Amino acid sequence: MPDLDRVVQEIADEMRARPDRGEVASYIPELARADPNAFGLVVIDAEGHAAAGGDADIPFSIQSISKVFTLTLALGMVGDRLWRRVGREPSGSPFNSIVQLEREQGIPRNPFINAGAIAVTDVILSGHQPREALGEILRFMQFLALHSGIVIDETVAASEKRTGFRNAALANYMRSFGVIENPVDYTLGVYFHHCAIAMSCRQLATAGLFLAYGGRHPLAGHSVISAERARRINAVMLTCGHYDGSGEFAYRVGLPGKSGVGGGILAIVPGKASIAVWSPGLDAAGNSHLGRIALESLTKRMGWSIFGA
């Protein structure tokens, strides 16, 4: 078995040196300020051993990676009834596509495209004030990451609110079908804010551990969800976690994963480890360019693809 610490270190060094870094997202103006040269990689196992390379402790905007955790919370609140409001099929469309919603009567394809994640946020919001719902999400992240200092970057949230016309269109459209139940501004407010949570690779990898170990967080010492639910969330991450780049990610990396336009990716090696990687430059599908390449190299060298070594 190759030495994990060495492999992670070598990959971090290789990635830092590469000239092809992708394009930093700029449709949310505040995200454009990210340093394209940043790169971090952390792998954590059930014993809490962390193999870390590069900018492992610098917080970045987790963006759509938050959707894994809001999906977990919403399933905990309403169980499988959630699947009446959102599907679980890959979309094959860009993350903010409107066309598909019209064809499918306002029911988003899956919980990870923007429309689906906004519908999931609406489920968490129902019966609460936006502030309470957001507090619930943030506390969940702090609990899973074993870090009470995790915060929402208000500048990023405000920047997305100012420019989030496409998400507002998706939310209003779903409201017209009754898929969104709360005032659209409230739902979007909570959505923009949970996307703006800032975390480091180390914190994110720690937070993902419950998905690697059958729903039980080995370091928090708590059962977060059932093993069956963890398995299913991993399945949705594998098939839908990278928008219309999900097939390519499964082909090259072979792990359940979820990307965010801040350049982060959370990837799960069932029974073995939780991984977070961060490099702000994105590929054409909106997924971290070097993040994906680093994960491909890591799974290959460790023999970690769920499809076989």
Residue set of the binding site for substrate: 64, 114, 160, 167, 191, 243, 261
> Per rule CB under 6 A, is residue 72 in the interface with ligand GLU?
no
CA angle 308, 89, 285 (to 5 degrees): 75
Least distance between ligand GLU and beta carbon 95 (Å): 5
Nearer to ligand GLU, 9 or 96 (CB): 96
* Of the residues 286, 289, 291, 293, which one makes contact with ligand GLU according to CB under 6 A: 286
> Per rule CB under 6 A, is residue 160 in the interface with ligand GLU?
yes
> Per rule CB under 6 A, is residue 97 in the interface with ligand GLU?
no
Nearer to ligand GLU, 69 or 95 (CB): 95
Binding mask 77-96 for ligand GLU (x = CB under 6 A): ------------------xx
Other CB atoms within 10 Å distance of the CB of residue 150: 22
> Per rule CB under 6 A, is residue 195 in the interface with ligand GLU?
yes
92 vs 28: CA distance, rounded Å = 23
CB crowding 133-148: b at 16 or more within 10 Å, else e: bbebbbebbbbbbbee
74 vs 131: CA distance, rounded Å = 16
Nearer to ligand GLU, 56 or 261 (CB): 261
Q: Record the tokens describing residue 165, joined without a space.
A: 């016309």
> Per rule CB under 6 A, is residue 114 in the interface with ligand GLU?
yes
Least distance between ligand GLU and beta carbon 216 (Å): 28
55 vs 140: CA distance, rounded Å = 24
Contacts of residue 218, Cβ cutoff 8 Å, sequence gap at least 6: 46, 47, 48, 209
Q: Nearest-CA neighbor of 41 among 201, 258, 253?
A: 201
3-state secondary structure of 277: strand
Least distance between ligand GLU and beta carbon 292 (Å): 14
What residues act catalytically?
64, 67, 191, 243, 261
DSSP structure class, residue 55: S
Q: Report the interface residues with ligand GLU, using CB under 6 A.
A: 63-64, 95-96, 114, 160, 167, 195, 260-261, 286
